[in-house]
Amino acid sequence: MEANARDNTLLDVRALAVEFAAPRRGLRASIGRAPRAGVRVVDGVSLHIARGETLGLVGESGSGKSMTALALAGLVPKPGRIAGGTVRFEGRELTSLREAEWRRIRGARIGFVFQEPSSALNPVFTIGSQVAEALEVHGRASGSAARARAVELLDAVRIPRPAARADDYPHQWSGGMKQRALLAAAIACDPALLIADEPTTALDVRIQAEILDLLAELRDRLGLSLLVVTHDFGVVERLADRVAVMYAGRAVESGPAREVLAAPSHPYTRGLLASRPGATPGRRLAAIPGSVPDPAALPRGCAFAPRCPERIEACDERRPGATAIAPGREVRCLLREGTA
């Protein structure tokens, strides 16, 4: 696979769309003749990640961020499918790959850490065997060599007494330790890109900080690029070089993390930042009214309009396109069009 050496881009995603089929209702559906209508849960997402860079993908539950991450690893669950766009990784287009081809990339060149470590780990196999399996599947090691390497990987993610703990089963480990085990398996084959889906969910504050520090350490030591999916801007502030904010399947704002945090342009981004604990000391915690809309019933215009405190009449009629507001920064908001 050839890399894009000209601009150091590792991953280049353009106009990605993920669609789920749903049967139409009504008479024709009842007799089995209705066409299947596509519901887009990811709609026109573009992003890029350079070698050694960390991108934070932020949004509320239902915003499409986890589905975007799954699409980048060829893991969209059925009956979902990639319905449009391109995903180029190390110079290779991925959207047309068959599952057999995906298996050679997923785990080897793209590591994935799932959101729920307790669900991702098999309860009937030891931790060490599950880390070793990642090596065996991709032909990196087998037998005692895979076991020895699994112990080294557990040590690399700061598991105490890794040789002994490798024989433990998942139920014997805490949530934070299970998350480290998933990290060990994800980096086993030296991937170029590590995707971490909500890596600090359900962990206490101290363990969250340790996991974020570990991700930063692994990125720097192994030369990884990171895509971190999160609902927490604190994770972005601590870890990310750039950020993309998602709402209703679209990236509504993107840019360098420091710039977006210091001067958010989209009303949704400002709302998320204002709702952080401690965002406005001495004041009651702010909240965005309403909830993320059902992707099967999006508003006609801007999807955020029903919740937006800055809404104008045109927001109900027209979907905003991407507007470049500064080098490397884009926003989808009618109020920002023509402000570059």
Spatial CB neighbours of 249, under 8 Å, sequence gap ≥ 6:
40, 41, 42, 43, 45, 63, 64, 295, 303
Residue 35 has pLDDT above 60, yes or no: no
Prior bond to 79 cis, omega within 30?
Answer: yes
Q: Indicate the range of 153-162, 198-207, 236-245, 255-264 predicted with least confidence.
A: 198-207
Class level of CATH domain 9-109+191-336:
alpha beta
d(CA 30, CA 134): 46
* Rounded mean pLDDT, 232-240: 95
Contact 183, 207 (CB under 8 A): no
d(CA 164, CA 128): 9
197's tokens: 């889906």
Residue 226 has pLDDT above 70, yes or no: yes
Prior bond to 264 cis, omega within 30?
Answer: no
Mean pLDDT in the chain? 91
- 270 three-class SS: helix
- 229 three-class SS: strand
Q: What percent of the chain has pLDDT over 90?
A: 84
Q: Are strands 9-23 and 193-197 parallel, antiparallel or unpaired?
A: unpaired
Residue 34 has pLDDT above 50, yes or no: no
Contact 15, 85 (CB under 8 A): yes
Residue 54 has pLDDT above 90, yes or no: yes
CA nearest neighbour of 198 among 113, 75, 111:
113
Contact 73, 110 (CB under 8 A): yes
Residues 59, 237, 205: CA angle, nearest 5 degrees: 85
* pLDDT value at residue 280: 63
- 162 three-class SS: helix
* pLDDT value at residue 23: 55
Type and span of the H or E element at 257: helix 257-262
d(CA 132, CA 127): 9
Q: How is the chain split into domains, by residue range?
A: 9-109+191-336
Express each pLDDT in 87-104 by its tens digit. 999 999 999 999 999 999
d(CA 53, CA 10): 9
Express each pLDDT in 267-324 by its tens digit. 999 999 999 876 666 667 788 999 999 999 999 999 999 999 999 999 999 999 999 9
* Rounded mean pLDDT, 144-162: 97
* Residue 117's pLDDT band (cuts 50, 70, 90): confident
Q: How far is CA 146 from CA 7, 38, 123, in A?
A: 36, 44, 20
d(CA 328, CA 2): 25
Global pTM value: 0.91
Q: How many CB atoms lie within 10 A of CB 174?
A: 12
d(CA 225, CA 244): 15
